[in-house]
Structure 1
Amino acid sequence: MPNVRRQSTLNGPAVTAGIELHGGEHTRLVMRPAPTGTGLVFVRTDITDRDNAIAVRPDAVTGVKNCTTLSNAGGVKVSTIEHLLAALAASGIDNLYIDIDGEELPALDGSSEPFLKLIEQVGIVRQAAPRRYVRVLKPLEVRNGDSFARIEPRERLELDVTIDFEDKAIGKQRVEIVPNVRAFRERLASARTFARMHEVAALQAAGLSKGGSLDNAVIVDGDQVLNPEGLRFADEFVRHKALDLLGDLYLGGPILGRVTTVKGGHGLNHDLLMALYGHADAWEFTSVATRSQARELESVSA
């Protein structure tokens, strides 16, 4: 028999709140179960004079500087979505309403771990309809200077991420991972967003990072990590980049393919998705998982 996995949503509402990383405002977020075929939809509950729903899709991306931002046709925005999307991707959540009363998701501790714990506390429900995967059929690559991102066919999602910074505290790091929920929980979820000290000043001068602090980001100054508690992993920086990549990729749904990035970021991640969906012969929809993919998916509820 073919391995057909069903769509999933949450077993009930999940609530969290906190300070926005860039905007500095306090926002409240509620994840609610949604019917099959809904997809992931942000709902700006503070907007009442126009369409306040923002579908999670690659063509809804309107900003990739420092975070990923989505907008609808009415200009309603939601930003810094990648940490939540990474947790949803690893958990295999297909359908969800995500209510938020501001323009940016709460930063929490700067990682995906608080979102993942919420999901696991509430629980996941399998739904009647089959899940739809995006199977990569041929290699594609996008470049920007010495940075590149490549996607190629595989029977499951695989990530290979390399970063290279002049800062001695970061340096060159690489991580490879098959991001099922178990591997995500153990290796990526708690990796925090990071910034270099000179970038923090520039971001604040530009009106960003108003809510950034050592409580929700790792700050590096040359060869030093300024956070008193230090790093959660020796290679926490590249692990967070892989987390961001997973979240950005989930804008296009669950993908079966190997994604390699070198010196990547939100912009390059988005360019790769748009290149993939811009080539009709490079992908296909499928509801049948290979045996290997089915084994990976079994760990969603582990």
Structure 2
Amino acid sequence: MHQTTIKNTVRCTGIGLHGGKQVELVLRPAPEDTGILFALRSGSGTSFLSPKPRLVVDTGLATSLGNGHDHVATVEHLLAAVRGLGIDNIRIEVQGRELPIMDGSAASFVYLLNQAGLRRQSKPRKVLAITKPVTFERDGKFVKATPHNGFLVDYTIQFAHPLIGRQNVSLEVTPDAFASEISKARTFGFLREVEYLHANGLALGGTLDNAVVLDEFGVLNTDGLRYPDEFVRHKLLDFVGDMAIMGLPLQGRFEVFASGHALNNSFLRHLEDNASEYLEQRVLPLPVESPAAAPAQPVRGLRGQPALA
């Protein structure tokens, strides 16, 4: 399997979840073996950051990365779209300290990446494969991983709310499955928590336009839910994005119960600390193609309308 990048540079603007201010995002093609590279632009210049588990500096409201000089927040939805669509190499330029929240899902990023197009590169894809079962558990919440030729996630959540309760979704994460089954699922929260955050100057960009908000009985959004089980699907989306912080794509079957950004990152750090026991870097074989083989087509996914700059 070949590495991939995007064909063209694309950009968008949107509101940041934390500060409530407009931020600019530019996505550019990147050479082979670059991986995911953030270019953080500020008044003092540009600094670069490649996601790694120990560069996660905050998991409160979202996943934030930092390099000691600069940081960028709310990276998980874009990283989920990048990894979900099978993109290996990309340069992500950010003007501001967070990515735009868009509609609270990964749908706008899927649309943007599809507009950029997908370009196959010459080198084979590298992955980190789970080689033996591993369980990471904390306070009854857990992530269990076993060997699997692909990326399969079986995710379960449980909330004491009449509209949520216990929900489960199991999905082999492929570009088509991610775009159609997961990418539209929005982040969610409870009204009492949103009111507290706003009163304390937090999540200033959070509105009903970019999150599903629940009171004690139901959903406050007038358009309702996009999936009957949108809540667990968004948690799976977050998991895909958080796992992308490992650098190379992970291969394995992941059973997850009630995890969040903090536990996801702790699981990755556990894998990193015990890589020789649980992980093996593999180079995927390139397909054998005839000279007349048709060129690769771009991944077809969800169509939406992000705010284009």
TM-score by length of 2: 0.90
> Which 5+ residue runs of structure 1 have no aligned equivalent?
292-297
Q: Does 1:110 align with 2:104?
A: yes
CA distance in 2, matches of 1:283, 1:154: 12
2:129 touches 2:147 (CA, 8 Å); kept in 1?
yes
Q: Secondary structure at the match of 2:231?
A: helix
Which residue of the other structure, out of 115, 122, 129, is the alignment partner of 2:116? 122
CA distance in 2, matches of 1:67, 1:272: 16
Q: Secondary structure at the match of 1:110?
A: coil
- 1:30-77 deviation digits (Å, cap 9, x = unpaired): 00111111111111222425x611212222111111210000132x00
Give matches, 1:210-289, under 5 Å.
Answer: 210-252=204-246, 253-279=248-274, 280-288=276-284
Q: Does 1:66 align with 2:61?
A: yes
Structure 2 letter corresponding to 1:33 = P
Shift of 1:289: 5.7
> How many aligned residue pairs are there?
290
> 2:5 corresponds to which residue?
9
Structure 2 letter corresponding to 1:63 = D
> 1:53 corresponds to which residue?
48
> 1:35 corresponds to which residue?
31
- 1:241-277 deviation digits (Å, cap 9, x = unpaired): 0000000001112111011111110011111111112
Structure 1 letter corresponding to 2:87 = I
Structure 2 letter corresponding to 1:171 = G
> 1:139 corresponds to which residue?
133
**Distance 1:300-1:196 versus aligned 2 partners, 3 A rule:** farther
- 1:218-245 deviation digits (Å, cap 9, x = unpaired): 0001221000010001100000000000
Q: Secondary structure at the match of 1:224?
A: coil
Q: Secondary structure at the match of 1:301?
A: coil
CA distance in 2, matches of 1:213, 1:164: 24
Give matches, 1:57-96, under 5 Å.
Answer: 57-74=52-69, 76-96=70-90
The farther-off stretch of 242-251 and 35-44 is 35-44
CA distance in 2, matches of 1:206, 1:269: 26
CA distance in 2, matches of 1:260, 1:178: 12
TM-score by length of 1: 0.92
- 1:73-131 deviation digits (Å, cap 9, x = unpaired): 32x00010000001000111111111111011001110001000111111011112211
1:92 touches 1:300 (CA, 8 Å); kept in 2?
no
The farther-off stretch of 280-289 and 28-37 is 280-289
CA distance in 2, matches of 1:57, 1:12: 26
Kindly report the root-mean-square deviation, in angstroms, between the aligned alpha carbons of the 2 structures.
1.7
> 2:153 corresponds to which residue?
159
The farther-off stretch of 195-204 and 214-223 is 195-204
> 2:172 corresponds to which residue?
178
CA distance in 2, matches of 1:220, 1:119: 31
Shift of 1:290: 11
> 2:91 corresponds to which residue?
97
Q: Secondary structure at the match of 2:240?
A: helix
